[in-house]
Amino acid sequence: MDVFEAINKRRSVRAYKSDPIPEDILKKVLDSMRQAPSAANRQPWKFIIIKDRALVESVVKACNAQTFLMQAPVVIAACGIENQAWKGVGGNRSASAVEIDVSIAATHLTLAAAAEGLGTCWVGSFNEACFKKMLKVPEGVRIVMLTPLGFPASPDLIHPLNPETRKDFNEIFCENYYA
Ligand SMILES: Cc1cc2nc3c(=O)[nH]c(=O)nc-3n(C[C@H](O)[C@H](O)[C@H](O)COP(=O)(O)O)c2cc1C
């Protein structure tokens, strides 16, 4: 599958089968995160691969999180290590690239997963303090996003893009100058 097919197959999946992910496929999609670019190649990240069902259930319940996270066989918490990140985004010496770097790696995951027939859903709305406590994430490390990873509950969840869900081409591209 080429990258355009993977982009077309990536949809936010919010219902999963509990079927396990074969280890070789899991390793392959995780390795796509390892290969992601990062500012000054700092790789200021750590990815928690949560497979323990009891742990996922207790964290989701304790943190009042979105319950579809509990359906997939794997949940990934993408963490950014603040003091490893390059600083200087946009010429601002204190602006950290940590969220940008982790988000690029997470985007690799979403596309690699789609190429392997797996679903993901970027979850950015969660109680970070609660998740950090439950997952033993230390000070100075952020959880940038969560995603379930698993086989979609139904093939219908991988539907073609509904054009109404995206801005028009001409609305978002302009030539030479901002217009
Ligand atoms: C930064 C970010 C945060 C998001 N947070 C959530 C979330 O908390 N819960 C959720 O169900 N979807 C979340 N999404 C998924 C978006 O709703 C989804 O990507 C968007 O509606 C487009 O749909 P699609 O991914 O199926 O193309 C998030 C996406 C991004 C990029």
Overall average pLDDT of the 35-45 stretch: 98
Write out pLDDT tens, residues 133-152.
999 999 999 999 999 999 99
Ligand 1 atom nearest to CA at 126? 8
**Contact between 174 and 27 (Cβ < 8 Å):** no
Calculate how far, in angstroms, residue 42's C-alpha sits from the geometric centre of ligand 1.
27
Query: Residues 65-76: pLDDT tens digits?
Result: 999 999 999 999
Q: Which atom of ligand 1 is nearest to the CA of 161?
A: 27
Residue 179 falls inside a structural domain:
no
Residue 177 within a domain: no
Q: Is residue 135 part of a domain?
A: yes
The pTM of the full predicted model, rounded to 2 decimals, is 0.96
- Residue-by-residue DSSP string for 83-111: GGS-B-GGG-TT-B-HHHHHHHHHHHHHH
Number of domains within the chain? 1
Q: Sign of the CA dihedral 81, 82, 84, 88?
A: positive
Cα torsion 46, 99, 32, 148 to 10°: value is 80
| DSSP per-residue string spanning 45-88 | EEEEEE--HHHHHHHHHHTT--GGGGTSSEEEEEEEEGGGS-B-
Residue 140: domain span = 3-172
Mutational test site, ligand 1, from 8, 9, 12, max ligand atoms within 8 Å of CB: 12
**178, part of any domain:** no
Q: Is residue 24 part of a domain?
A: yes
Amino acid (one-letter) located at 58: S
- Whether the pLDDT of residue 1 is over 90: the answer is no
The pLDDT value given to residue 160: 85
**What CATH code is carried by the domain that includes residue 143?**
3.40.109.10
Q: pLDDT band at residue 23, thresholds of 50, 70 and 90?
A: very high
Residue 63 in any domain: the answer is: yes
* Cα dihedral 112→118→124→127 (10° resolution): -130
On average, the pLDDT of the chain sits at 97
Domain contains 145: yes
